[in-house]
């Protein structure tokens, strides 16, 4: 029998024989220094399994492929040789721990499942308007005050309250180690200068007005941003990042940079003074100069900053400063950035935002999306599927939204585009569902992966999820 595999390997050669393989079939691993970092060769012949790889990562991926082979062929498998390597070295998934909070045990289930499909970056969204979720020892109020909101009213639905939670540094280390054992690097996101209400609730001096505010209880884009003209406030976020750099050993730190209204900056003396000092003419450039300063600070610590595409607006950032994560702006600044040699992480809102219903982003739409089409393989550094949690009120819902759509991202990141017909991929996803179940990941019935009545699902989602005011606000903020 021939296996069903996700992601599709680069090369499979069937060599004619058949092997009986049990789940615990012994594997002989040989070191092959000539192979690239994540590449591997897997051979099944005469009931024996051999793996060649130059690194633990390659061996890990060979074992993931073998796991799928055994799972989908039963015990009788056509002999084969697979020679495989990824197209992209950044294959990510984002989980928003701020709007709704799921703990370490639940995250581990997601991480385990992502690893089975060779994803290798866990983008962990840890701070936002509705909660600060990472312990920072130097500034304990960030979690003592900023991790608890009085209630939750996403989409106008009263979920009661108070609502809170955060990860201690010990728990963060535990997740980092759990990921590392599965070849996954954690990419923490510490949002700035926008989506900053929770930080301001703990330390009001960080804002332009200094007024006391509380963590937000609903979805949206809020004016409570960092005062980038206040040197003490900028020093504060650098101190936070310093601690984050020490805690998370990975190369990348995401610093947000999306959806930061200018309302407060427009009326702030300190922000105006920074603009005068630096000869900055507009607020987009003010944000650009701030992101540039923070990215330089991270570079000194051996890290690379990632920022959402909005930060390109000021025309300040160069390809040497940052990696850009693109969720919008397919036509203008992002393509210009890649033409200048910049690199993007593709997380297209219309295809890779999995918090929206299948009616809006069916599995086929996610799978058929070519993330390389605008920027070419040279401009695309990574791909990522995103799971924001404003309207994800249970962990089961989170799982059903993320999987199997995240497998489409896994295939694009590992195997490139195009790979195969959608219906081949879908059939493989169905055959591999037991692997998800084993990790405690519920999924919707495959009949619901590509709903016929997309309009109804979309209407139901917007009716049940968004308060009328916030629909307009959201659409405007996503322009």
Cβ at position 65, least distance to Zn ion in Å: 52
**49 near Zn ion, judged by CB under 5 A:** no
Q: How far apart are CA 25 and CA 3, in angstroms?
A: 16
124 binds, options ligand ACM, Zn ion, none, Cβ within 5 to 8 A by partner type = none
Mark 7-36 as b/e (b = at least 16 C-beta within 10 Å).
bbbbebeeeeeebebeeebeeebeeeeebe
Cβ at position 429, least distance to ligand ACM in Å: 26
Cβ at position 294, least distance to ligand ACM in Å: 17
466 binds, options Zn ion, ligand ACM, none, Cβ within 5 to 8 A by partner type = none
Site map (CB under 5 A) of Zn ion, residues 213-232, x = contact: --------------x-x---
Tell me the two tokens of residue 357.
């219903």
- Tell me which stretch binds Zn ion (CB under 5 A): 204-212, 217-225, 243-251, 305-313: 204-212
**270 near Zn ion, judged by CB under 5 A:** yes
Q: Which is nearer to ligand ACM, 121 or 182 (CB)?
A: 121
* DSSP string across 433-475: HHHHHHTT-----GGGSS-S-HHHHHHHHHHHH--HHHHHHHH
Q: How far apart are CA 341 and CA 372, in angstroms?
A: 15
Q: How far apart are CA 354 and CA 153, in angstroms?
A: 21
CB-based contact 295:253 (threshold 8 Å)? no
Cα 439 to Cα 59, 201, 389, 435: the distances in Å are 21, 37, 21, 7
Phi/psi for 269 (5° steps) reads -65, -40
259 binds, options Zn ion, ligand ACM, none, Cβ within 5 to 8 A by partner type = ligand ACM
**98 near Zn ion, judged by CB under 5 A:** no
Cβ at position 33, least distance to ligand ACM in Å: 40
Q: Which is nearer to ligand ACM, 147 or 389 (CB)?
A: 389
Q: Which is nearer to ligand ACM, 247 or 474 (CB)?
A: 474
271 binds, options ligand ACM, Zn ion, none, Cβ within 5 to 8 A by partner type = Zn ion
Q: Which is nearer to Zn ion, 229 or 413 (CB)?
A: 229
**271 near Zn ion, judged by CB under 5 A:** yes
Binding site for ligand ACM (CB under 6 A): 258-259, 308, 327
Question: How far is C-alpha 84 from the chain's CA centre?
Answer: 24
Which SS3 state, helix, strand or coil, does residue 403 take?
coil
Mark 162-172 as b/e (b = at least 16 C-beta within 10 Å).
ebbebbeeeeb
Q: Which is nearer to ligand ACM, 66 or 291 (CB)?
A: 291
Residue 226 gets which letter from DSSP?
A: B
Q: How far apart are CA 121 and CA 216, in angstroms?
A: 28
Cβ at position 261, least distance to Zn ion in Å: 12
Q: How far apart are CA 226 and CA 207, in angstroms?
A: 5
Burial of 212 (0-12, 13-18, 19+ CB in 10 A): exposed
Tell me the two tokens of residue 362.
């069916």
Q: Which is nearer to ligand ACM, 166 or 308 (CB)?
A: 308
208 binds, options ligand ACM, Zn ion, none, Cβ within 5 to 8 A by partner type = Zn ion
80, 253, 255, 268: which one binds Zn ion (CB under 5 A): 268
Q: How many residues in the shown chain lie near Zn ion by CB under 5 A?
A: 6
Cβ at position 295, least distance to ligand ACM in Å: 17
Cβ at position 286, least distance to Zn ion in Å: 9
Cβ at position 289, least distance to ligand ACM in Å: 21
Among 384, 387, 327, smallest CA distance to 357 is for 387
Indicate the residue whose CB is closest to ligand ACM: 258
Tell me the two tokens of residue 92.
């990510």
Cβ at position 128, least distance to Zn ion in Å: 20
Cβ at position 353, least distance to ligand ACM in Å: 7
Cis, peptide link before residue 97, omega less than 30° from 0:
no
Give strand pairing partners of 125: 96, 189
**262 near Zn ion, judged by CB under 5 A:** no
CB-based contact 164:147 (threshold 8 Å)? yes
Q: Which is nearer to Zn ion, 229 or 362 (CB)?
A: 229
Q: Which is nearer to ligand ACM, 64 or 326 (CB)?
A: 326
208, 248, 324, 399: which one binds Zn ion (CB under 5 A): 208
Point out which residues bind Zn ion (CB under 5 A): 208, 227, 229, 268, 270-271
């Amino acid at each position: 029998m021939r296996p069903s595999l996700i992601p599709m390997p680069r090369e499979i050669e069937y060599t004619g024989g058949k092997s009986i393989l049990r789940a615990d079939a012994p594997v002989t691993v040989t070191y092959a220094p000539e192979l690239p970092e994540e590449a591997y060769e897997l051979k099944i012949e005469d009931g024996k399994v051999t793996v060649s790889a130059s690194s633990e990562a390659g061996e890990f991926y060979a074992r993931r492929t073998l796991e799928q082979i055994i799972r989908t062929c039963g015990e009788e498998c056509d002999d084969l040789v697979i020679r495989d390597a990824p197209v992209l070295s950044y294959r990510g998934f984002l989980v928003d721990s701020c709007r709704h909070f799921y703990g370490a045990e639940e995250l581990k289930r997601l991480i385990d499942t992502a690893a089975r499909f060779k994803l290798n970056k866990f983008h962990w969204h840890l701070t936002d308007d509705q909660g600060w979720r990472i312990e920072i020892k130097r500034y304990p109020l960030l979690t003592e005050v900023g991790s608890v909101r009085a209630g939750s009213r996403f989409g106008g639905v009263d979920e009661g309250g108070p609502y809170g939670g955060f990860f201690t540094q010990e728990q963060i280390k535990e997740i980092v180690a759990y990921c590392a054992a599965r070849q996954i690097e954690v990419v923490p996101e510490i949002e700035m200068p926008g989506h900053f209400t929770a930080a301001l609730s703990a330390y009001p001096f960080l804002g332009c007005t200094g007024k006391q505010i509380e963590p937000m209880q609903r979805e949206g884009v809020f004016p409570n941003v960092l005062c980038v003209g206040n040197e003490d406030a900028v020093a504060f976020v650098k101190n936070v990042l310093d601690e984050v750099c020490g805690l998370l050993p990975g190369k990348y730190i995401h610093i947000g940079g999306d959806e930061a209204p200018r309302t407060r900056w427009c009326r702030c003396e300190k922000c105006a003074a920074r603009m005068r000092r630096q000869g900055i003419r507009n607020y987009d450039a003010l944000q650009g100069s701030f992101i540039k300063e923070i990215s330089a600070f991270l570079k000194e610590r051996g890290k690379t900053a990632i920022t959402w595409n909005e930060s390109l607006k000021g025309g300040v950032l160069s390809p040497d400063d940052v990696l850009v994560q693109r969720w919008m702006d397919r036509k203008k600044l992002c393509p210009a950035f890649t033409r200048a040699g910049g690199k993007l992480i593709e997380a297209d809102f219309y295809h890779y935002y999995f918090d929206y219903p299948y009616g809006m982003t069916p599995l086929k739409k996610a799978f058929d999306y070519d993330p390389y089409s605008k920027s070419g393989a040279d401009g695309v550094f990574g791909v990522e599927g995103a799971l924001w949690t404003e309207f994800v009120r249970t962990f089961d819902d989170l799982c059903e939204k993320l999987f199997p759509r995240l497998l489409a991202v896994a295939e694009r990141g590992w195997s490139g585009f195009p790979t195969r017909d959608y219906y081949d991929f879908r059939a493989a996803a169905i055959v591999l569902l037991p692997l998800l179940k084993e990790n405690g990941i519920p999924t919707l019935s495959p009949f619901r992966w590509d709903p016929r009545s997309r309009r109804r699902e979309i209407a139901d989602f917007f009716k049940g999820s968004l308060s009328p005011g916030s629909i307009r606000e959201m659409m405007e903020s996503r322009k």
